[in-house]
Amino acid sequence: LASTALLLPSARCLFDQPVQVKVEGLRSRQKGVVFSSSATYRTDGSGKIDLLRDPSLSGSYFGVEPMGLLWSMKAETLHKRFQKSCALHPHVVKFSVHEEDREDRMLAEVTNERPLTGNGVSRVPVKGRNFQGVLFTPPEGPFPAVLDLCTLMCEKRASLLASRGFMVLTVPVYTDHPDNIKQMHLDHFKEAVDFLQQQPKVGSKGVGIMARSKGGDIALSLAAFVSGVKAVVSINGCNAVVSVPLYYQNHQIISPLGSDITKLITTESGASIIKYGLGDPLAEENKYSLVPTEQAKGHFLFVASEDDLNWDSKAYMDQMAERLKHHGKENFETLCYPGAGHLLEPPYGPYCPSSFHRIVHHVVLWGGEARAHAEAEVHLWSKIQEFFRTHLSCDAAQTKAKS
């Protein structure tokens, strides 16, 4: 009987979908090593391995982890981050099965193609007067509208969310080298919000905004100063405007929260912990850097990783919640993930402990423990979709009126 490796339900699936890995036709009680991130399994009495039920005995992870071969993948060199900036190119993973201590003898192999864009989702680059991005639209409609503010251009999160039934426009916070940015203009991002609202297939009366890190304070500011923002997901963001002043309608509206490069902590690996470099948002000298979120009419989902080594995200989330409660507001939810690091992404991508930070020009530690981080990404991805569906209701009549 030939050995076979199976991917269920299909060898082709969206990036954010789990797969079931099964191996059949092996000798009874035979061990095998699977994928380049390695895990050792022992076959059952019928010569089968099923990652849904069977534990890894050694390798990149231990125990029953059906998607462990994906989230535990590591680059060959230190401080490399897995990135899929363009949604046109699928993630291709080869699973191979080898005898223990005989890696040269491959028993079975199967390829998993993981596209970032679902069937029928269109991808259209767009350019406004003051913004540029990529618009993802599912087939048919109407759809809730979401603006994805990525710190630097990346289409992965937007294309996958569109594949779940949302119209998503992804726009980078930084369109130029960060060192060249001396101020930011909320008007430019408002233009993107207005563009989204005018799309004929949009059924929601307002838009949602999704952002992480620096994009978070822009998202909060849009909710506070711009009408039509109904729901904001801020992932490991700050409650103050970071690095550069924020302008709106030709006036500075929020001062920047400064940072101190001398507070970086360098580790043995060469990567730095930058968590303590940002100023205290609640210090008296920084009070004009805080975003007045109490002015917002929409709803917030604040997300924080407890082991974030980029920012003190948990403290910022607690401060945002306390500020809203102080103003009698109940329009927010909080989500905290112990053991997760800064780079919360759509699920089933390789966990990244450290990489070069293109804003601060240092290799940095992002924080987190691989297993806990991977679990957080699965939970958060589902929660984001649920949150937007709850607060961005679609009105078919409104969609027809735009057409």
Catalytic (active-site) positions: 213, 308, 342
**243 φ/ψ sector (left φ>0, alpha ψ -120 to 50, else beta):** left
Per-residue burial over 150-159, b if 16 or more Cβ lie within 10 Å, else e, is bbebbbbbbb
- Contacts of 236 by beta carbon, 8 Å cutoff, 6+ apart: 212, 213, 216, 303, 304, 305, 308, 310, 311, 313, 342, 344
- Contacts of 169 by beta carbon, 8 Å cutoff, 6+ apart: 126, 133, 134, 135, 136, 145, 146, 147, 148, 158, 192, 195, 196
On the CB side of 10, CA atoms within 13 Å amount to 8
Asked if 131 and 156 touch (Cβ cutoff 8 Å), the reply is no
Alpha helices in 151-298 (DSSP H): 156-162, 186-197, 214-225
Tokens of 325: 């409660």
Per-residue burial over 44-66, b if 16 or more Cβ lie within 10 Å, else e, is eeebbbbbeebebeebbbeeebe
Asked if 157 and 172 touch (Cβ cutoff 8 Å), the reply is no
Task: State the angle between helix axes of 214-225 and 186-197 in degrees (0 to 180), rounded to the nearest 10.
Answer: 70
- State how far the Cα of 205 lies from the Cα of 198, in Å rounded to an integer: 10
- State how far the Cα of 293 lies from the Cα of 218, in Å rounded to an integer: 11
DSSP string, 195-212: HHHT-TTEEEEEEEEEEE
| Distance, CA of 166 to chain centre | 16
CA distances from 71 to 95, 213, 340, 342 (A): 14, 21, 13, 15
